[in-house]
Structure 1
Amino acid sequence: MNKTISTLGPNDAKCCFYLPNPPTFPDNWSHNQADAIASLIALNGNHWRKILTIMAKIMCPTEDWKSYRDDFLLKESEQIHINATQLSSQSQIHIVSGQSSATQLSLNLAHFSATQTEPRLNTCQSCLLVPYLDYRQYPNKLIEETRGYLTSLEIS
């Protein structure tokens, strides 16, 4: 089971999320399989359910984020890079989750807000620095603000 994967999702995804810690992967797991998200949640529990739910709420083009999470997340439009040291060259927008991910990517944090109480866009790199994808740090109000940023960029 302790399969090491550093990228989840298609290589040509328009949006890339950067996270510091990987989930545990089932044997022979692929983002393309029908139950990819369900199997990650089953194996990793509530913590990864929250991460994937927040991603779905940010990226879903409608209000049906649950179906989007279960059926479409990581299939076409999004990917996750774990412990990345450089931004994906294929993605149009980069959502960097937490200061540890930003530091790992060697991003200049001065270009972002001093606190992580709202998403901040670094337009020269198309990066959005957001809190870690957990409801305690990333409540629904902030998710809506993030969606607003992406909508204004015509990304979501």
Structure 2
Amino acid sequence: MHLSDTIDTKVISLGAHNPTYCFYLPTPPVFPKEWSLAQDDAISVLIEHNGNHWRKILTIMAKICAPSEDWKHYRDTHLLKHNEIILIGADTLLQTNIPQQKLWHFLVGSVVSQQLSIETQDLSFIEVNHNSKLVYDNQSLLITPYLDYRQFPNQLIAETRALIASKS
């Protein structure tokens, strides 16, 4: 598996080359000097360098994507290395290179939803929960609140995991 941690002038891509989950975020973390996603402690170094804000983002991502309930181990050892990618500044949805692979798109927060509105303007969305915090296009695209516990609490994480499990 190849890893991508390159910075383009327009789009920042951080994660696996053939992901199952793509998180579109509005702002990047600060990358430490000599940092590489390939290093064993890459996520913990990124959290240490960026503080609580990015710890929350990466923790919620891990809680959504981890194949088991051991999200902390998954976050610290596997997140962004095998199944996930973060795109910052994207104006189009990522396309998968693998036929028959489902790619889940998470448009995180209102800024990203507006940036990618041209990609979603012709789609119909359904509410996943009664608060309209999570909407789904009945395929593989979710518009979500920002990855912060006040906006994306554990109950919403559980609903997201249940939706993905039911459609995979």
TM over 0.5: yes
Give the letter for the 2:146 counterpart: Y
Contact 1:16 1:93 in 2 (8 A): yes
The offset of 1:68, in angstroms, is 0.4
- Tell me: CA distance 1:75–1:116, structure 2 relative to 1, closer, same or farther (3 Å): farther
Match for residue 103 of structure 2 among 84, 92, 98: 92
Match for residue 52 of structure 1 among 34, 50, 58: 58
Structure 2 equivalent of residue 131 of structure 1: 145
Rg larger in structure: 2
- Tell me: CA distance 1:118–1:67, structure 2 relative to 1, closer, same or farther (3 Å): same
Percent identity for Structure 1 against Structure 2: 48
TM-superposition CA deviations, 1:6-30 (whole Å, max 9, x none): 0110121111011001000012322
Range with greater deviation from structure 2 (106-115 or 46-55): 106-115
Aligned pair count? 151
SS in 1 for 2:155: helix
Q: Show structure 1 runs of 5+ residues with no match.
A: none
Range with greater deviation from structure 2 (84-93 or 7-16): 84-93
Structure 2 equivalent of residue 101 of structure 1: 112
- Tell me: CA distance 1:110–1:31, structure 2 relative to 1, closer, same or farther (3 Å): same
Q: How does 1:10-49 map to 2 (within 5 A)?
A: 10-49=16-55
TM-score between the two structures when normalised by the length of structure 1 = 0.88
Using the alignment, how far apart are the partners of 1:26 and 1:36 within structure 2? 10
Contact 1:116 1:130 in 2 (8 A): no
RMSD: 2.1
Contact 1:13 1:77 in 2 (8 A): yes
The offset of 1:110, in angstroms, is 7.2
The offset of 1:102, in angstroms, is 1.2
SS in 2 for 1:52: helix
TM-superposition CA deviations, 1:57-112 (whole Å, max 9, x none): 00111111000000010011000001211111126110111121111112329733
The offset of 1:113, in angstroms, is 5.5
TM-score between the two structures when normalised by the length of structure 2 = 0.82
Contact 2:63 2:71 in 1 (8 A): yes
SS in 2 for 1:75: coil
Q: Does 1:145 align with 2:156?
A: no
